[in-house]
Each structure stands twice: as structure tokens, then as C-alpha cells.
Amino acid sequence: MFRDDFMWGVASSAYQIEGKDKEDGAGECIWDRFVKEKGRITDGADADVSCDFVHKYKEDISLMKYMGIRHYRFSLNWSRIIPGGTGKVNEKAVKMYRDMILFMKEKGIEPFISLFHWEYPQRLQEQGGWVSHQSPEWFGEYAKVAAKNFSDICENFITIDEPQCFCNFGHVRGTHAPGYQLPLPLSFQMVHNILKAHGRAVQVLRKYADRPVKIGIAPTYSVPVPCTEESADIEAARRAYFGFYEEMDNWAWNLSWYLDPILFGKYPKEGMEKFASYLPRFSKEDMDLISQPIDFIGQGIYNGYAVRADKEGEPEVLERKPGAPKTAVGWSIMPECMYWGSKFLYERYKKPVIITENGMSALDVVSEDGRVHDQNRIHYLDAHISQVQRAYDEGIDVTGYFLWTFLDNFEWERGYSERFGIVYVDFENRKRTVKDSAYWYQNVMNTNGRNLSINRKPRPILFLNPVLKEMVWGGSRLGTDFGYQLPGNEVGECWGISAHPNGDDGVDDNCFIGKTLSELWENERYLFGNLKEDRFPLLVKVIDAKQNLSIQVHPDDGYAKEHEGGSLGKTECWYIIDCEEGAELVVGHNARTKEELENMIHEGKWDAFIRRVPIRKGDFIQIDPGTVHAITSGCMILETQQNSDITYRVYDYGRLKDGKPRELHVEKSIDVIEVPAKPAEDSVKNVKEILENQWVELIACDYYKVYKMNLNGMMLFEQTHPFMNVSVIDGCGIVNGRVIKKGDHFILPDGYGNVELAGEMELIASTV
């Protein structure tokens, strides 16, 4: 969790939310001109009204208070405060912003002022804009007005927000205001002037502020995320983050070109070499101005991309998988970008890091109940803020997080087609509707992140990849009937839920993908109710007997512990998935005394010895230790058992494996076989015809409980056991949104809660 002094907030920009007031004396900014050009903005939208924040700021700030917002990062509109960019100050604007800030403070919200979030005065643009050598002084004059009028009520200032965006999009590619595509030499001069303007603003703020203030700059960048945590991949990602791999028509989308001069007093050597033919002259005085001391680095982080090291250690960008998650605006979703971005920044520049923007555009709608249920945004924010905490917990000096944004607003060239807010705005009547994500974020702030997933132990459904076993008596029905990819032609067993060393299933989905069930039992015992056993207690198999299995018996725990190196004994039960008409199983024997038992076995009187029990599809048989038993040809069985592979073969029909008879365990078998055998009717019951849509208990013994369900439609139940193994033995359906089918096996962990099943399925479940 985060400490109490962590800064939680939301962020906005003036142009995107304020709108206009004909009486306020504001000047024209470059975006006012840009939006009037046909084809520039989606749907021909403009920001003349937008959220109408200039008239509704008290309502919206009050709403922020109700929603637990502690800090608000917003920008001043330069052209509103100084209509001509320089010269006469618009006192109406100063009064409005002062009133806005004082009202924030009255509501317990700490202001964070961004001097520039792209609202460049049009008059100055016509005099050369950022390309002009005078632009640093123009910006310094504006910063002086801000310092004199707001520093008494605001302690935190950001000079320039996301320079990569307005430099690259506005002056290199031309998709943002002012819509220029500058020759490369002029674009480098422009960025140099912007950095000088930043330095001049730092000087002015410190000189004219009424009190000591904290100052930073807030660039942005898509974060390279190492595909593994091997040192080579980490270093490759770091190189990509601070290196110069962009094409020249995208050069301004860079990070170290903006931050190195500020923090190190010089441009990066790699960039100087790559851009040498385009660069203006940089004087020592320029670099001294640019490198004025700052207090923190702001960083807007929205997404990332996977990187690995190639053979030379250079970053190689990995293609995203088809269908990989993305936001409504099409940006990739890779939460780890928050961790690596924060880590890389702090390690390189040794300054506190503030996440000044992070959020997602979603396809939000007001539902029939009048609410906006933006669960996808909650999931995005939870994952990303959790990665901020990961960095924070490792000692990275991340001091704040500002969510973009509070209100849906004018999203630059996309107009109103994208919604980033945690408050929905109806742009016809300006009505506000608080989204579910706002309530969720309120809880995050109130608890300093206690409700984040990183602070909760994940409890997903564990879908397993079965282990398939070739057996001399096996067939092919596990492939034809269950759809498994068979490793051979004689596959007799599918270990569907197993943590046994002889067949350890892997998890095929969710945060534990790639882990084995035994690893989860060892390291994530909470998933299984923190049981004290030394191993996962159960093993679930599907058995396809093309031929008869050996006549066998299992020991109990005491005998196995003494004679099998501490292994568990083996109590098991069978559900008959399928069998031929008139089928029989071997369950029990006909010997009346131990002496008769030994004679029958040693003399090979197998027909007299074994007891055959008629079975049909849907029968359930309990096999206790000491019970002679065998599955016969043509049977398909789901077996639930103790997590043990101890089997004593009494007789194997003289079969050969690899040219040799399989090992028998006659003396041990005689030791453990119970005499006389219990009556067959005590072992077998038919459960095919049971009530639908409820768990029907088949057995409860010292080692397991087993249930059957015939699902037809939908049913809801609460998982209250330490864990619940579930196997789909027929049909298909859905479990909590996941499509499942015959042959699937999964575990519902401890504390999972409500489980919703839908479809037509036969299910067998087991627990302890």
C-alpha cells in the first residue's frame, strides 16, 4: 500500500474542459483556429462549450470532493490570462483562476498548476510561435504572471505538459494545432526553444513566487517493457526508452532529448550524433538556462510495448499477439509499463517521479439503470496502479498518481469520440453521471490502494492442462471422445487434476499461467484454504480401458508410509462415464479366509478368486484400500483418488511390455487385501438419474467428498470448500463467462465466492 503522503489526484487541461465565455476577455489560442479548419477534428467538433467548466467549476470541484479527490492537476490557459500572449493581463481570467483555486482548497483539494498544456496564444504563433528565439522570454513573462497571482495559494507547478505531443503532432506531423510540418532543422530549433522556455519559467517561478514552490516538467512516452526479467532484456528495454530508434519523421517522439538537457545539462551523445546535420548551435548559456534545478519529473504513461534483446543486445520490438487487449482509442494495454517507466526514470535521473497522466478511453454508455458500468476501465486502472505500487514498494520514489481524467472532454483531434473520464458528460446538455470507476478510484484513494489487486491475493479459476499417459491397456477414446491431443496410440489415462510428481498439471490461463499445480500448492497455499497436508491431497483421472486393467489392490496410509517411503495410501472412487452393455468390473474377491486367499492367488485360480460386478453407465463405485479391483475393457471412468500412485498388481493376464512381463506385487497384495471382501452392493450405486441443477453428494469419506451435477440451463452456487475440483464429463457450457466443454478440468479456489454455471453438462466435483 501507499503511504498517507502519496498524492492521489485527477488531471485535466484548460482547453479540453473550459469552454468559452464571450464576456471573459480571453484571447484566441492555436486550437481555436485549428478546429475551424475543415477535416481537422472528428465530426467537425470544437471546444467552444466542451464541459463548460468556466461556468460549472464549483459544481465539478464539489463533485471532486464528494468523490475523494485530494489533488487536481489542471492547466491555465495562457491566451485567457494574457490574450495577446504578452502584454496586458486579463484580470477577469486571473480572478476566475484564483477563485477556482481557492474553492479547491476550501474543499480540501490541493491544486497542481500546469502552465502550458498546448493552449498557445494565436498572436504569438503568428509571430513565429515556438520557433521564434523570443519564445522563451514570452513564456517567462507568462510564468511571472502566474507566479505573482497564484503562488500564494498553489505550491506545485508544472512548466510544460507532454512536449513530445505538441512538438511531434503539432509541428512535425501536423495532426495537432497549429498543424505544421516543419523542416527538420526548424523542428530542432523549436524543441530547443521550448526547453529554454521551461528553464526560463523555472527561474521566474522561483524568483517571483510568494513562497518556496515545487517545480517539474511532465513529458510522456510509450514504455518499452522487457519481455523477461533477464538482465539482457531489461537493458534492451532501457536502451529503447532513452535511445534514438524513431524514424526521422517521428524524431520528436523521444524522451531523453527532452529530459537529459534539463537534468544533465547536455543533450544525449547518441542524439547529437544522429541529428548532427539538423541541429542549431547550443551555447553554454542555453544549457545553463535549460538545466535549472527542478524538484520532480512528471510523466504521462498510458501504454507500453514488449522488447527483447537481439544477438547484439539491441532492443527488438515484439509483435503483439492477435487480439491482444487495447483501449477504445486503440492503444495497447500493458500494465507493466507503469513499473518499468517509473523504474527507468528514477534510476536514470534520481528525481521523484509523479505519474501526471494515466487512464483509458472506453466505449462508455449510460445503462438502463442510469449508471455507467465501466468495468473495463476499473480493470485497466487497477492493473496499472498496481504496477505503480510495485515500483513504489521496491523503493522507487514515486510520489503521486494523477488519473486522466475527471470529466469526459474534448480529446483534441478526436473531438468527443473518446471518453477518458471517470465522470460521464452528456455533450448535448452537459449533464454529469458518475461512472463506476469513480467510486472504485474513491476507494483506492481512501485506502491508499488497499483495494488494489496487487494487495489482494488473486483467486482465479485454475484451468489445467492435463497430463496424458500411455498404458499397455490404453486406447484412443481420450482423443476421439474427449478431444485431447494424444501422444500415442495407447493412451489410457488423462491426469486431469494432478499435482503428483509423475504427472503435474500446468495452469493454462490467468495470472498463474505456466505454473504447475504443485507449485501453487507449495507457494500459494491460500488458494486451497491453507490446508496443512504435505501435498495436494487429491488426484482426478479419466481412464480409457481398451483392454482389461490388471487385478490390483491399494494399501492404506499406514502400510504405504511404512513400505513405500512415506507415500500416501490410495482410496479411490469411480464414476462410469461409459461402458458396453452387460459390462462388469472386478470389485472384491470370493476368498473367505486369508489362507484361502493365498491359495487362490498362488495357484492362479483367478476365475474363482475375483468377483465380477455388473455395471452400467452412471454407476459410482467406492474402492477402499484393501479392495481387489480392476477396470475392464470398454469402460471409460472418471477416477477420484488420494494423491498417490501406489498400486499393487496381483495379476496382469500375462501381458508383456517391451517384451517383458509387467512387475507384480503378490506378497504385498496379500498383506493388504481385506478378507472377507465387503458386499458388492455396499460399493456400487447408480446416479445417472438425479435431480438437475444441484450438486448431489455421491460419497463423503475421510479423504474426499465427491459430487455429481446434471446441469440443464443455469444455476448459481457459492464455493465454500477449501477448494473444489471440477471435471466436465459430458456436454458444454459456461462457468463465470469462460466457455467449457467435455474434457475440461478446473479448480475453484478457496474463497472464490459465487459461481455461475450455464449450459447442458454433466459435472463431477471433488473436495476434501
Q: Which residues are catalytic?
A: 162, 357
The one-letter amino acid at 344: F
624: Cα within 13 Å, side-chain hemisphere: 16
Length of the chain: 768
Nearest to 493 by CA among 468, 466, 476, 465: 468
Q: Could you give the residue ranges of the DSSP H alpha helices within 481-546? A: 517-523
DSSP, collapsed to helix, strand or coil, labels residue 561 as helix
Burial class (CB in 10 A: 0-12, 13-18, 19+), 125: buried
Q: If residue 432 lies in a helix (H) or strand (E), which one and from where to where?
A: strand 432-434
Q: If residue 160 lies in a helix (H) or strand (E), which one and from where to where?
A: strand 156-161
Pair 579, 635: CB distance under 8 Å: yes
- Rounded Cα distance between 231 and 13, Å, is 39
Calculate the alpha carbon distances from 151 to 145, 333, 686 in Å. 10, 38, 82
In the block, residue with C-alpha cell 465565455: 21
- Element counts in the chain: helices (H) and strands (E): 22, 37
Cis geometry, peptide bond prior to residue 178 (ω within 30 degrees of 0): yes
- Rounded Cα distance between 516 and 531, Å, is 18
Pair 744, 727: CB distance under 8 Å: yes
* Burial profile 340-374: b = 16 or more Cβ within 10 angstroms, e = fewer: bbbbbbbebbebbbbbbbbbbbbebeeeeeeebeb
Q: If residue 63 lies in a helix (H) or strand (E), which one and from where to where?
A: helix 53-66
- Rounded Cα distance between 392 and 381, Å, is 16
User: Would you state the cell numbers that stand for residue 445, as one nine-digit string?
Assistant: 484513494
Could you write out the DSSP letters of every residue in 26-53?
---BHHHHHTTSTTSSGGG---SSTT-H
Task: Centre a 10 Å sphere on the Cβ of residue 113 and count the other Cβ atoms it contains.
Answer: 23
Calculate the alpha carbon distances from 626 to 214, 409, 610, 641 in Å. 78, 74, 14, 14
Q: Could you give the residue ranges of the DSSP H alpha helices within 265-367? A: 269-274, 284-290, 336-349
Q: Which residues pair with 496 in a beta bridge?
A: none
Tell me the backbone φ, ψ of residue 718, rounded to 5 degrees.
-105, 130
Q: CA torsion sign, 322 to 325 to 331 to 336?
A: negative
User: Would you state the cell numbers that stand for residue 280, as one nine-digit string?
Assistant: 542549431
Q: Could you give the residue ranges of the DSSP H alpha helices within 507-649? A: 517-523, 557-563, 594-602, 606-609
- Rounded Cα distance between 10 and 459, Å, is 30
Q: Could you give the residue ranges of the DSSP H alpha helices within 434-574? A: 436-447, 477-480, 517-523, 557-563
Q: Which residues pair with 738 in a beta bridge?
A: 735
- Rounded Cα distance between 380 and 440, Å, is 12
The one-letter amino acid at 496: G
- Rounded Cα distance between 698 and 689, Å, is 13
Tell me the backbone φ, ψ of residue 639, rounded to 5 degrees.
-110, 130
In the block, residue with C-alpha cell 460386478: 613
Pair 727, 498: CB distance under 8 Å: no
